[in-house]
Amino acid sequence: MSKRILLLASGTGSLAQAILSAHQKGEIDAEFVGLVSDKDSPALEVARSFGVPEFYIPMRSPREEWDREIFQRVQSLAPDLIVSVGFMRILASDFVSTFKVINTHPSLLPLFPGAHAVRDALAAGASVTGTTVHWVDAGLDTGPVISQQSIAILTGEDEESLHERIKIAERALIVETLAAYAESGSL
């Protein structure tokens, strides 16, 4: 039976695009049950272009209402795995304890967690960084590592060029990780 995968995205949808393109080419043998976004983002159009149901659930106050709404939507879709691909919200602890959620991050965790990982790696004078696929837990980028890809930081490299190189590796790594998951049923 094919694994059911749900994507969470807040931005341009470049990771979702890579995943859904790989699926379309037969590289990921899974069923994509939807894409949820907290913003009216280009990621929703990416999902639509691949015929994947998209769900816009804007952040609201109090936060607990949004937490309940996203929990109920995800529960109704019954995914085997949720993949956070540029979803810029911290998920509630009951969400991550109920559902299997993985995330991509632009550093070699546990180094440089948080929203400014690329900038932080450069500021620290690191010579190597990379990308990580990890389990999401109640902490900030603290879940167990599933897979990583290293990238050398070039002399004089700026944040934008480094981040673009990391994104290329990140797209390849998440596709490889999901292909392996779809084939074996585990991570």
| Residue 105 designated active-site | yes
Tokens 């159009």 — which residue? 45
CA distance 71 to 49: 25
Question: Between vectors from CA 170 to CA 166 and to CA 176, what angle results, nearest 5°?
Answer: 150
CA distance 134 to 149: 12
Question: Between vectors from CA 144 to CA 138 and to CA 145, what angle results, nearest 5°?
Answer: 130
The one catalytic residue among 23, 105, 134, 163: 105
Phi, psi of 44 (to 5 degrees): -65, -40
What are 150's strand-pairing partners?
A: 130
Contact 171, 14 (CB under 8 A): yes
Catalytic positions are 105
